[in-house]
Structure 1
Amino acid sequence: MTETISIAGCSIGQSHRPFIIAEMSGNHNQSLERALAIVDAAAGSGAHALKLQTYTADTMTLNLGEGEFFIDDPNSLWRGTSLYKLYQEAYTPWEWHKPIFERARALGMIPFSTPFDATAVDFLEGLGVPCYKIASFENTDLPLIRKVAATGKPMIISTGMATVADIDEAVRAAREAGCRDLVLLKCTSTYPATPSDTNLLTIPHMRALFGCEVGLSDHTFGIGAGVASVALGATVIEKHFTLARADGGVDSTFSMEPAEMAALVVETERAWMALGRVHYGLTEKERKSLVFRRSLYVADDLVAGDELTEKNLRIIRPGLGLPPKYFESLLGKRVGRAVGKGTPMSWDLLSSDETATQMPPELPRNARA
């Protein structure tokens, strides 16, 4: 088991409830008022952290509207615009970061961001962020990873599209540059992602391979993938978050609404609590339920010498008689005294000679189920 990581006083690890991140991305729709409302809604849903993305269109790409700088993929949510215009629409103005972070902290959430270049890291350091996220599209940007790792703060790296070799390079770069606390997130970099492309079984494999905390950056609809990931060892879950998908926005299609985020927080914690440990047999709270098992009961009034038959010996509830496994061996045996209907079957009801031949030697004569 990997060691527990602490981010701003919040413990992350398999001994702790899943750490849920609400990703605002560009869902503020260029309104600070809406951005702050998203913070309020994320806190109200129970999310533990609020994440931004820190870049400008100029730090992301070139201001060109043709060739590879123009999105013409018919399956893309952003078809028909240039990369530059997309990032202009989606970016969070840097002057908004401070009031957004302050609002998140005031509401008990941990605010941080994904930097996309060195200048963003320097800016976020000035705001005192407690950790950093590396986006999937930047997980091969080793200079950026080294820059972030040099801060010495915990790092969360999404692994969308990355091969094992890519992840290994990223992890090595982070470790060598000073990162001690690292979380890798399984991620499928399609928007939205389908459950069939999510491959959650990668999560325990990634934990074993890289010896760090693991989680899920989830672009599927709903909470199913997130809840399932917890059963496979995910300790961090990130989902895009908006006030309402109907309001539109660059990421709204695959973003969660407040009620869905609240359900994710509750159900992932329930999933984590349900993992428990390997255990067979009774739990202490189950002990009272033993009475609801089936057992052997006398079903008719009997007198001494009467023979036990399938009619007068029944396998029924409650479970206070001998276990059903003795049913066949008791048929044809005789009772040694009068027995009333509804009496739980026990060895001491048999005549003395029957008891001597039938009662298991390891059980006392008054044994009960």
Structure 2
Amino acid sequence: MNCIQIAGRLIGPDQPPYVIAELSANHNGRIETALQIVEEAKRAGADAVKLQTYKPDTITLDSDGEEFRIKGGLWDGRRLYDLYEEAHMPWDWHKFLFDHARKVGTTIFSSPFDSTAIDLLEDLNAPAYKIASFEAVDLPLIKYAAGTGKPMIISTGMADADEIQEAIDAAREGGCRELAILHCVSGYPAPADDYNLHTIGDMIDRFGLVTGLSDHTLDNTTAITSVALGASIIEKHFTLDRGGGGPDDSFSLEPAEMAALCAGAKTAWQALGKVDYGRKSSEQGNVKFRRSLYFIRDLKAGDVITRDCIRSVRPGFGLAPKNLEAVLGRKVTRDVRSSTAVLPELIDSWPPR
């Protein structure tokens, strides 16, 4: 499994998790809010901000038909067209947001939902593309994005293993050389017990790609846990105020929570480390508090050491307790006082042959 690179940042299992703050619809119709979200994502420690680039007319039809109306869930009863009209990021905002992200020193890219969105993002020199879960079956879109030669991340919510492979094949056929996939559950919000995080390890083995998590749960537990199972990327919706009333606010992280995610994910990755049974640097000072053998009676030179003469106690300056039986029955080489560590030079004919 190779690393990928977005705007100079290596992403893969040997690198700290790459955290993406998904701005989505959380601008709530105000470019000032969108610009502030970019700043707060940077301040919280996110590696990138991600937009969504579509218009209501490029993602659905302006229809009153029942199949174009949402039934159940967070947006129950709404027409798709009306929801996307409210939620979409106006295209003339994109340049301001890309310029602002570069000004504050953070990476910005987007999920395009049709070829015209990719054309716009290419004009802005987007460093990567993200394919949303609902578009993972749009193989022509994937191929078109792949044709830019930019790194690509594909979310796999609702996709089975065959559909994931088809999306990967389309990306490769289109020319994508740096590809990652995200395990995802396309519920808004999604319950943690739907995530089946062990799937991440299987995806890594099955597809051989940098793999991460697009997390729609309401806290950070699932996302941080995913790092221990191999996730190299974490994507979370991000807002200034969960009570802001926008379409995505209610299942998004606020700034303090995003900061906690960035810190927690990095700590989890650092804690994984490598297989290592050696003594750790933080343990060195405590070695002296291990148990060892100590004399608990005064002895004269030539006295035989019996069980009532020594004990295994803390600290650890004497012979290790595993030597107890070998010490018993031997003579001391000189006078010793109680509370003296049992050392090799105090034992006759040590070490035993």
Matches within 5 A, 1:124-163: 124-163=121-160
Partner of 2:182: 185
Q: C-alpha offsets along residues 338-363 of structure 1, whole Å, 9 cap, x if unaligned? A: 2112211124323x4xx47xx433xx
The answer to whether structure 1 residue 232 and structure 2 residue 229 are counterparts is yes
Give distance in 2, aligned partners of 1:86 and 1:312: 83
TM-score, normalization: structure 1? Answer: 0.91
Give distance in 2, aligned partners of 1:223 and 1:312: 56
The 8 Å contact of residues 326 and 352 in structure 2, kept in 1 or not, is answered as no
Paired residue secondary structure (2:110): strand
Partner of 2:352: 360
The answer to whether structure 1 residue 319 and structure 2 residue 311 are counterparts is no
The 8 Å contact of residues 213 and 234 in structure 2, kept in 1 or not, is answered as yes
Give distance in 2, aligned partners of 1:267 and 1:111: 22
Paired residue secondary structure (1:245): coil
Q: C-alpha offsets along residues 267-302 of structure 1, whole Å, 9 cap, x if unaligned? A: 211222222221112245544432121111112322
Deviates more, 1:268-277 or 1:181-190: 268-277
1:305: Cα distance to partner? 4.8
The answer to whether structure 1 residue 21 and structure 2 residue 20 are counterparts is yes
Give distance in 2, aligned partners of 1:96 and 1:344: 75
Paired residue secondary structure (1:246): coil
1:173: Cα distance to partner? 0.6
Matches within 5 A, 1:87-236: 87-236=84-233
Which runs of 5 or more residues in structure 1 are unaligned? 362-369
The 8 Å contact of residues 318 and 343 in structure 2, kept in 1 or not, is answered as yes
1:120: Cα distance to partner? 1.0
Give distance in 1, aligned partners of 2:296 and 2:216: 60
The answer to whether structure 1 residue 295 and structure 2 residue 292 are counterparts is yes
Partner of 1:364: none
Amino acid in the other structure paired with 1:51: K
Q: C-alpha offsets along residues 157-204 of structure 1, whole Å, 9 cap, x if unaligned? A: 001111110011000011011000001011111111122111221222
Amino acid in the other structure paired with 2:171: A
The answer to whether structure 1 residue 34 and structure 2 residue 33 are counterparts is yes
Partner of 1:272: 269
| Aligned-residue identity in percent | 53
Matches within 5 A, 1:27-66: 27-66=26-65
Which runs of 5 or more residues in structure 2 are unaligned? none
Amino acid in the other structure paired with 1:173: A
Give distance in 1, aligned partners of 2:217 and 2:322: 49
1:25: Cα distance to partner? 0.5
1:306: Cα distance to partner? 4.3
Amino acid in the other structure paired with 1:176: E
Paired residue secondary structure (1:243): coil
Partner of 1:11: 10
Give distance in 1, aligned partners of 2:52 and 2:352: 71
| Gap change, CA 1:240 and 1:337, over 3 Å in 2 | same
The answer to whether structure 1 residue 304 and structure 2 residue 314 are counterparts is no
Give distance in 2, aligned partners of 1:200 and 1:225: 8
TM-score, normalization: structure 2? Answer: 0.95
The match for 1:261 among 239, 245, 258 is 258
Give distance in 2, aligned partners of 1:45 and 1:147: 33
Give distance in 1, aligned partners of 2:307 and 2:57: 86
Give distance in 1, aligned partners of 2:18 and 2:306: 61
Give distance in 2, aligned partners of 1:180 and 1:150: 10
Deviates more, 1:126-135 or 1:265-274: 265-274
Give distance in 2, aligned partners of 1:4 and 1:112: 18
The match for 2:248 among 231, 246, 251 is 251
Q: C-alpha offsets along residues 252-273 of structure 1, whole Å, 9 cap, x if unaligned? A: 1211111111111112112222
Give distance in 1, aligned partners of 2:281 and 2:82: 62
Paired residue secondary structure (2:268): helix
